[in-house]
Amino acid sequence: MWRRVASLSPLVSSSKSRLLNQVQVAYGFNAWQMFSTQVLNPAEGGVSDSRRTPFVTFVLGGPGSGKGTQCTRIVETFGFTHLSAGDLLRREISSNSENGSMILSTIKEGKIVPSVVTVQLIQKAIETSDSNRFLIDGFPRTEENRIAYERVIGAEPDIVLFFDCPEEEMVKRVLNRNQGRIDDNIDTVKERLKVFAELNLPVIKHYSKKGKLYKIDGTGSEDEIFERVRPVFAALRYPVLL
Ligand SMILES: Nc1ncnc2c1ncn2[C@@H]1O[C@H](COP(=O)(O)OP(=O)(O)O)[C@@H](O)[C@H]1O
Ligand SMILES: O=c1ccn([C@@H]2O[C@H](COP(=O)(O)OP(=O)(O)O)[C@@H](O)[C@H]2O)c(=O)[nH]1
Ligand SMILES: [Mg+2]
């Protein structure tokens, strides 16, 4: 399993985010690598240092395109850790954090929470996890989100999934979602579709140009969609868990 150098752990865990940022700004390289040890691969009977950072997949698509549903399936089959940016933000609201009311009104309006808030939540979730493979669901939502993430984390995602779904299907799913979400109403979803087209599609295009994008047809049953997702992960090589 990917791990940070044990002797640095106390330092890293107490003021980890700040320290990582400082290291990265000062030295201009991926701070994760500095705190990581080699990856052991018992199957190959040896030590491999080919991959020192976790494997990160961004999962993108419009509201109701099935990101969360398919992430659950990927977790079950391929053992990823699912980090939903929306869930992290909703947790901030329910924990009455200082940003809670700002996040609530932003979500209600279908707008995007400032990058500094979301990136910090994602960074903390990654750094406090022992996992070495993450699905980051519903992030980055804007080019500004993407740039902030890549600067703070010091790495690009390994791959990006994009669930492509017609607007009328997404609206139907959101309005039937029934999870008591404040943004699952017709006015907010209309705004979210606009925001998706204006701000999120450029992120998807960016990763497409980089050859990292897997565009998945998001129509049909959950099972049918998962059968389109499965080969993407089946063909990958990950850092091996110890
Ligand atoms: N293939 C599908 N067909 C019909 N409904 C679906 C499908 N996939 C997901 N749903 C339902 O649509 C709603 C939105 O799905 P969700 O996974 O939350 O999408 P997202 O995270 O992209 O907003 C949920 O109620 C979910 O159960
Ligand atoms: O990186 C993110 C992810 C989510 N959100 C906000 O949280 C809402 C819900 O996001 P989520 O991913 O949960 O919605 P989904 O696409 O799954 O319906 C979005 O409309 C945004 O207002 C945000 O600002 N930044
Ligand atoms: Mg979701």
Domains of the chain by start residue, with CATH? 53-234 (3.40.50.300)
Closest residue by CA, ligand 1 atom 12: 173
pLDDT at 240: 52
Decide: 183 in ligand 2 pocket, CB within 6 A.
yes
Residue among 135, 83, 124, 109 at smallest CA distance from 190: 109
pTM strictly above 0.95? no
Computed from CA positions of residues 37, 43, 46, 49, in that sequence, does the dihedral angle turn out positive or negative?
A: negative
Tell me the mean pLDDT in the region 24-38: 36
| Residue 177 alpha carbon, nearest atom of ligand 2 | 18
The structure tokens listed for 242 are 């110890």
Of ligand 2's listed atoms, the one at least distance from the Cα of 184 is 18
Collapsed DSSP state (helix, strand, coil) of residue 196: helix
169-217 residue pLDDT tens:
999 999 999 999 999 999 999 999 999 999 999 999 999 999 999 999 9
Is 181 annotated to bind ligand?
A: yes
Ligand 2 centroid to Cα of residue 48, in Å, is: 37
61, 83, 200 from 197: Cα distances, Å: 10, 23, 6
What are the pLDDT digits (tens) for 98-112?
999 999 999 999 999
Q: Please measure the distance between the N-terminal and C-terminal CA atoms of the chain and give it in whole angstroms.
A: 5
Q: pLDDT over 70 for what percent of the chain?
A: 76
pLDDT tens-digit profile of 114-145?
999 999 999 999 999 999 999 999 999 999 99
Is ligand 2 within 6 A of the CB of residue 99?
A: no
